[in-house]
Amino acid sequence: MKGGGKLALCVALSFLGCSSVDAQQQKVGAPPEASNMKLVGTNDLQARSAYQPTIHHQGDRWIAYIGHHGGTDEIPDPINPMTGKPEPNGTSIVDVTDPAHPKYLRHIPGQEGKYESGGAQMVRVCDGKDLPKGDRNAVYMLRTFGSEAHEIWNVADPANPALITRIGGLKDTHKSWWECDTGIAFLVSGAPDWRTRRMTQVYDLGDPAHPVKIRDFGLPGQEPGSTGAVPTELHGPISTGPGRNRVYFGYGTNKGGFLQIVDREKLLNGPKEPIAENLRYPEISRMPLSALNGAHTTFPMPGMPIAEFSHDKDGKTRDIVMIVDEAILNECGEARQMVWFADVTTETRPMMISSYTVPEASGSFCERGGRFGSHSSSESMAPVYYRKMAFIAFFNAGVRALDIRDPYHPKEVGYFIPSITSATDKRCVTVEGADRCKVAIQTNNVETDERGYIYAVDRANTGLHILELTGEARAVAGLP
C-alpha cells in the first residue's frame, strides 16, 4: 500500500487505533483528520503562536480578536506582512464575516519577549452601549500586555484601534473575565507585593476610560505580609454575573488544583483589606482535584435539565461546572490532563461526577510530538451550544466536540485535527542529553460564535481554523 493510502486508512480508523509512523507524525500536505466536523476557512495569523480567540458580533460584521504568546527563539519578532516590519507578537484582528474567507485587518504588537514572557495572550470585548458608562459608539477590547499590564482599546474601527487606558505595574497577567452588562472585570494579575505570581484584581471597567479598582483577591497565604507555604496560583475565573451571583475560580493549571466557588456580591462589597479573614469571607467552598491535575478553565452551566432525572421528585436540574486541566509537558511527560464535570448543586459539598479524555491509542498521540491532553474549552454562553455542546482544545489531538446534555455521561461526537503547514513550529524533548524534535498541530484554545462556527487557534504557529459541525454532531446541537 502506498504512503497516501496508508495515511488515509489510518485517518479512517483513528478511533480504532493506528500504530503506523504515518499516524504518529503529521506531514505537510496531508489532509486534516476529522469526524462530524469540517474546515470552513483558515488564516495563518502571520505565523504567530495563538492563545485566546474572542469572536464579536460588531454591527453587520463578525470580528475575531486573537491573543498571542510571545515569539520563539528562532523568530522572536515575526514579520508583519502589512507593514513589512518585525513586530513582537500581540493581538490579531480578523474579519470573519465570511468564514470561508477570513480577512486579516490588523496586528497590534504586544510586549517584547518569548513564549509566556511576551505577547498579549488574553482578550475580551464589550460594546460601549452595553457598559454602564461606556461611549455608545465605542467597542472596547480588554487585553493583557505581556506580563506587565492590562490595556483597553477602542476597536469600533477594528482596522484602526486606539489605546484608551492602561493598568500597569504588574509582574504577571493571564486569563481574565469581563462582565459587559455591569463592567466588572476580574483581572488575573501579579500585584508586586503579593506572594504569588497570579491572583485577582477586581476592577469596575464600566467606564473603560476611567478604571476603578475595587480590591485585590487571592488565597490566604498569598497576601502581602503572610508567612508559611504559598498556596497554588490562580489560573482564571468565570463569573455568572449578578443574576446567579457566583464566580468560579480555577487554580493549579496542571497539578494540585482545585475549583473555588465564590459569592460575587460578598467579593465585591465585603471587607477589602487583604488579610486572611477577608479573603475567606466570600468563599463558599473548594473542591480539590487530584495532586496530578489542575484547573485551567472552570466553565459554569447552572440549571442543566437532566433527562434521566426528569421523573424524580427533586434534582431534575443540576448546577454543573466543567473543569479543564492544561497539559504542560511534551510527549506525555506528565499525568494525563483531562476534562472533568462537577455537580455543584449543593455548593458546600461539590462532587465530581464524570470525566472525559481522548483515547491515546486512537491516534498514537504520545508519539506524535508536542503536548497531548486537554487545555481549554469554549466559553461562549450563547444559546446555540450552551449546555448542549462543549468544544475542547486537546493540543495534538485537535478540537474535540462533546455532547454534554447528560454531564454524567459526556460523549464525544466529533473531532477535527488540522493539518500542519510549513510554518508549524517544532516541539522538543530531551532524550539522553540531546533534543528530539517533532512537528505536530498544537490546538491551543477554541471558541464559538452565535452562528455556530467553531474557531480553533494553534500554539505552534499554524494559525486560525474555522470549523462547522456535520452529521451526528450537528444534530446534537439542533442545527439545520
Q: Where are the beta strands (DSSP E) in 294-388?
A: 297-305, 317-324, 339-343, 351-356, 372-377
pTM recorded for the entire structure: 0.94
Q: What are phi and psi of 90, to 5 degrees?
A: -145, -105
Q: Are the C-beta atoms of residues 205 and 180 closer than 8 Å to each other?
A: no
pLDDT in tens, the chain (480 residues): 444 444 444 444 444 444 444 457 899 999 999 999 999 999 999 999 999 999 999 999 999 999 999 999 899 999 999 999 999 999 999 999 999 999 999 999 999 998 888 999 999 999 999 999 999 999 999 999 999 999 999 999 999 999 999 999 999 999 999 999 999 999 999 999 999 999 999 999 999 999 999 999 999 999 999 999 999 999 999 999 999 999 999 999 899 999 999 999 999 999 999 999 999 999 999 999 999 999 999 999 999 999 999 999 999 999 999 999 999 999 999 999 999 999 999 999 999 999 999 999 999 999 999 999 999 999 999 999 999 999 999 999 999 999 999 999 999 999 999 999 999 999 999 999 999 999 999 999 999 999 999 999 999 999 999 999 999 999 999 999
Q: Where are the beta strands (DSSP E) in 306-368?
A: 317-324, 339-343, 351-356
Give the angle subtended at the CA of 478 by the CAs of 474 and 480, to the nearest 5°: 70
Q: Whose CA is closest to 40, among 440, 365, 383, 449?
A: 449
Q: Whose CA is closest to 412, among 330, 366, 337, 473?
A: 473
DSSP assignment of 110-170, as one string?
-BS-BGGGSBB--EEEEETTTSTT--TT-EEEEEEETTTEEEEEE-SSTTS-EEEEEE---
Q: Whose CA is closest to 448, among 434, 468, 463?
A: 468
